[in-house]
Chains A and B, each alone.
Chain A
């Protein structure tokens, strides 16, 4: 099993759609979870941390299921500007570094 696994997509959705990304991780000892966003030929940028109780930031909702080792990101009312690659990220067993998934590509069209 890969350390962090994501559906690569691409997800092609119209503006206003709701889209969900899933991610699974292999290390049950991971304690920190994040979603990063990466635009084409740019650096990754932190979108949001993922907390055990789930958390929301505007149109974005992140969920964590520790028992299933599963993380999700829900984007409501998609905008053209949401088009990017979304990276699922967890920390390693020692807690000293982050492990990145390959990313899921989202394309929002008008």
Chain B
């Protein structure tokens, strides 16, 4: 498998559910990211992990909890979400230290919160 993969591709959940999004990168990169893309809005950076350490948290509500067990895997744990959290959640990876920071995206998880 190549590139960046994400599962599930689609998720419908109630506000009281707990679910997790999974991302895996097969590019040998050392940095991974979670983004949120809502309709009519630009991509919003949520979290950055560099060498497995969280380096940025863009004021994301605590109902979103990231986990990065190693440089290839990234999770986003979801609990007690709100309907306005419905969006496309994109994972990306890059190789830090090259000076360019080109990021490669997974296909995303389309989340609907009822």
Contacts and interface: CB of A to CB of B under 8 A. Distances in A.
Interface string A72-110: 000000000000000100010001111111110000000
B104 A46 contact: yes
A44 B43 contact: yes
Determine the main DSSP class of B at the interface with A: loop
Given A42-B107, A96-B55, A102-B42, 13 more contacts: A32-B100, A32-B102, A34-B102, A42-B108, A44-B105, A46-B104, A95-B101, A97-B33, A97-B56, A98-B103, A99-B45, A102-B40, A103-B42
Interface of B: 33, 40-43, 45, 48, 50, 55-56, 90, 99-108, 110
19 contacts: A32-B99, A32-B100, A32-B101, A34-B102, A42-B107, A42-B108, A43-B90, A45-B105, A49-B100, A87-B43, A95-B101, A97-B33, A97-B48, A97-B56, A98-B45, A98-B101, A99-B45, A102-B42, A103-B42
